[in-house]
Amino acid sequence: MSSKSIKVYAPATVANVVCGFDILGFAVNEPGDELIMDLCDKPGVVISSIEGDGGKLPLDADRNTVAAGVKSILKQLGREDIGVKLKLKKKMPLGSGLGSSAASSVAGIFAINELLDRPLSKEELLPFAMEGEALACGHGHADNVAPALFGGFTLIKSYEPLEVIALPVPNLYCALLYPHVDVPTRDARQIIRSKVLLKDAVTQWGNIAGLISALYLGDYDLLGRCMKDVIVEPIRSMLIPEFYKMKEIAMHHGALGFGISGSGPTVFSLFRSPDDAQRVLLTLQQVLLDKGIASNIYLSEINKNGPVIL
Amino acid sequence: MSSKSIKVYAPATVANVVCGFDILGFAVNEPGDELIMDLCDKPGVVISSIEGDGGKLPLDADRNTVAAGVKSILKQLGREDIGVKLKLKKKMPLGSGLGSSAASSVAGIFAINELLDRPLSKEELLPFAMEGEALACGHGHADNVAPALFGGFTLIKSYEPLEVIALPVPNLYCALLYPHVDVPTRDARQIIRSKVLLKDAVTQWGNIAGLISALYLGDYDLLGRCMKDVIVEPIRSMLIPEFYKMKEIAMHHGALGFGISGSGPTVFSLFRSPDDAQRVLLTLQQVLLDKGIASNIYLSEINKNGPVIL
């Protein structure tokens, strides 16, 4: 047992998907996090190193999202006799709206479950990944961890009880742009109003219902027509530089839809063609650069399987 | 032309379907409306008789929903030279939440379109049926006319532009109970609050998204788990006698879900077994009778095709 080691990769995720605030998300192939996990003789979970976080993430296992999920699983399985060493390589920006903490949490619970020969199903792993999220974000939402764990598009049907539905995965390309501006998740949540107009809610659930239909029908034009948000985007977009200019450019150059990834500031758009996606990304990057704002860009297909062993 | 005649039937409909306020509806095989339409030489639309309405519906073609839709179509087609005589047999209660005016409107536009050898598709007919609804209810909602016209389950994805999606039709039985109490549509709309909590809206759109998934998956247990309404039902149920008692009985005897049909006072429930549905209907009818309230009950499969020629 003590010599077992594993290296895994867990994907970034786009939560909300424009009209599905707090209930929808999908995973992308890039970016993502790498995790090396070793079992060892001395009980307890130790984080030996974290790279790529600029020193922002705590090495203290009691305050670290990855360690929290792993410790919960070991406790649940009655295996607190096991020792675990973690090396985390963050290969995506933190606080960017790409589900950074979810990717790390999922990498951790996936790795320990693999090392223990899969005592738990993915459905059973989900609540442990949510515990890590709660530690990172102050709330136990599943719209990043569920797609990071299952891959593809996931619907959080309900929280009490927790029920996740794996939706059909469209063959589309996701263009991501992370502008280097700071939008903490807590702030992005606080500016959203706690009450909404019923008529806006009706518009929103028409779009959500249409988007779900579009995924089952494989109707990407319909998918695009449903990617509208009358509730959250009008408010959160204020935190993102040049949001509507970028949206207009993307929509005029082949994007099916464009919106905020999670709580931002990353923006995403979906394309049929990787060439269109790439062209738009470079254009948007230049738009921001002209305003003095640097950005990271990523282009990949929708991730289909969640975390993998490297 | 002048001797052409047709007899048609259009189905009652259940709008909202618990969690899909203003966007979802489905048609049932019974009850429904019958309409006999004759073409004649004298231009204009005349209603020669209406049966089964207790004298409540206007024979004046300018104020009648059926005539309004027919006249609009004739105008649109440039065929105001045609004369039309209508005989309407209401075979369902008015103001019951069963889409009575929608069934009549749809019967009318379907009949004239058939008599003119189908110049318009069902998609093209929909706006004309909505005009009739606007006359009857004071608002041009499509959640009754769309399923009455297309049959099955329909989603009103959006109103501007109007976009309707035909959803997969579950092989289920619908039990309807119309208690003889008065709940005018306008009143039922007015008691709904214009603002809702965002967290309730999120719960609702999780359920709607889940219900759409359930229809595509043919997963009737999931369908039942999604038939929850935290926004409209808690308010409108106050207008319906013994609502929660009836719901409890239905859910404990095989119903997948139970709710208000449209704006009520009719209640509906969905069942896998027609025997369970029939037993529950009789039990609920007795519950109301014990309180001195009479009711009509109906049991049928989900209607699959919309209006038919008799």
Q: What is the mean pLDDT of residues A78-102?
A: 93
Greatest pairwise CA separation for chain A in angstroms:
59
Residues of B (161-220) whose Cβ lies below 8 Å from A? 163, 165, 167, 192-199, 201-213, 216
Q: Is B310 domain-assigned?
A: no
Q: How far is CA A156 from CA A3, A37, B197, B220, in A?
A: 38, 29, 19, 18
Contact by Cβ (8 Å): A267, A260: yes
Mark whether B117 and B12 lie in a shared domain. yes
Q: Is B60 domain-assigned?
A: yes
**Which CATH number do you get for residue A45?**
3.30.230.10
Q: Given A157, A195, A196, which is nearest B209 (Cβ)?
A: A157
Instruction: For residue A195, give the chain B residue with the closest CA.
Output: B197
Ramachandran angles phi, psi of B306, nearest 5°: 80, -150
Q: Given B157, B196, B205, which is nearest A226 (Cβ)?
A: B157
Mean pLDDT taken over chain B: 93
Residues of B (93-152) whose Cβ lies below 8 Å from A? none
Distance, in Å, from the CA atom of B246 to the CA atom of B283, rounded to the nearest integer, reads: 9
Q: How far is CA A212 from CA A170, A209, B155, B156, in A?
A: 11, 5, 11, 13
Task: Give the model's pLDDT for residue A1.
Answer: 45
Task: Name the DSSP class of A62.
Answer: T
Contact by Cβ (8 Å): A166, A152: yes
- Between the two ends of chain B, the Cα-to-Cα distance in Å is 20
Mark whether A113 and A32 lie in a shared domain. yes
Residue A147's pLDDT band (cuts 50, 70, 90): very high
Say yes or no for a CB contact (<8 Å) between B198 and A198. no
Number of compact structural domains in chain A: 2
User: Which parts of chain B register pLDDT below 50?
Assistant: 1-2
Contact by Cβ (8 Å): B15, B99: yes
Structure tokens at B93: 């209660």
Distance, in Å, from the CA atom of B226 to the CA atom of B213, rounded to the nearest integer, reads: 10
Q: Is A23 domain-assigned?
A: yes
Residue range of the domain that includes B136: 5-167
Mark whether A141 and A195 lie in a shared domain. no
For residues A192, A21, B19 and B301, what is the CA-based torsion angle, rounded to 10 degrees? 160
Structure tokens at B55: 């004298």
Mark whether B208 and B161 lie in a shared domain. no
Residue A131's pLDDT band (cuts 50, 70, 90): confident
Mark whether B17 and B89 lie in a shared domain. yes
Say yes or no for a CB contact (<8 Å) between B193 and A193. no
Contact by Cβ (8 Å): A37, A5: yes
Q: E strands, A44-200, where?
A: 44-51, 83-90, 153-159, 162-167, 173-179, 195-197
Query: Which residue's entry shows tokens 């939560």?
Result: A15
Say yes or no for a CB contact (<8 Å) between B197 and A202. no
Contact by Cβ (8 Å): B178, B241: no
Catalytic residues of B: 133, 185
Say yes or no for a CB contact (<8 Å) between A204 and B208. no
Q: Tell me whether A154 touches chain B (CB under 8 Å).
A: no
Mark whether A13 and A74 lie in a shared domain. yes
Per-residue 3-state assignment (H helix, E strand, C coil) for B260-287: ECCCCCCEEEEECCHHHHHHHHHHHHHH
> Considering only CA atoms, which of B204, B157, B222, B22 is closest in space to residue A22?
B204
Say yes or no for a CB contact (<8 Å) between B158 and A20. no
Q: What is the DSSP string of B191-205?
A: TS-SEEEHHHHHHHH
Task: Give the model's pLDDT for residue B136.
Answer: 65
Mark whether B277 and B259 lie in a shared domain. yes
**Which CATH number do you get for residue B228?**
3.30.70.890
Task: Give the model's pLDDT for residue A137.
Answer: 63
Q: What is the mean pLDDT of residues A27-45?
A: 95
Ramachandran angles phi, psi of A198, nearest 5°: -55, -40
Provide, rounded to the nearest whole percent, the portion of chain A with pLDDT above 70. 96
Predicted confidence (pLDDT) per residue in B277-308, tens digit: 999 999 999 999 999 999 999 999 999 999 99
Q: Is B308 domain-assigned?
A: no
Q: Is A310 domain-assigned?
A: no
Distance, in Å, from the CA atom of B101 to the CA atom of B302, rounded to the nearest integer, reads: 19
Residues of B (33-92) whose Cβ lies below 8 Å from A? none
Instruction: From chain B, pick out residues whose CB is under 8 angstroms from the CB of A23.
Output: 202, 205-206, 209
Mark whether A30 and A99 lie in a shared domain. yes
Predicted confidence (pLDDT) per residue in B258-274, tens digit: 999 999 999 999 999 99
Q: What is the mean pLDDT of residues A199-209?
A: 96
Provide, rounded to the nearest whole percent, the portion of chain B with pLDDT above 90. 82
Domain boundary among B167, B192, B209: B167
> Considering only CA atoms, which of B262, B233, B303, B294 is closest in space to residue B100?
B262
Q: Given B21, B158, B167, which is nearest A213 (Cβ)?
A: B167
Q: What is the mean pLDDT of residues A118-123?
A: 95
Contact by Cβ (8 Å): A125, A110: yes
Q: Given A197, A198, A208, which is nearest B205 (Cβ)?
A: A208
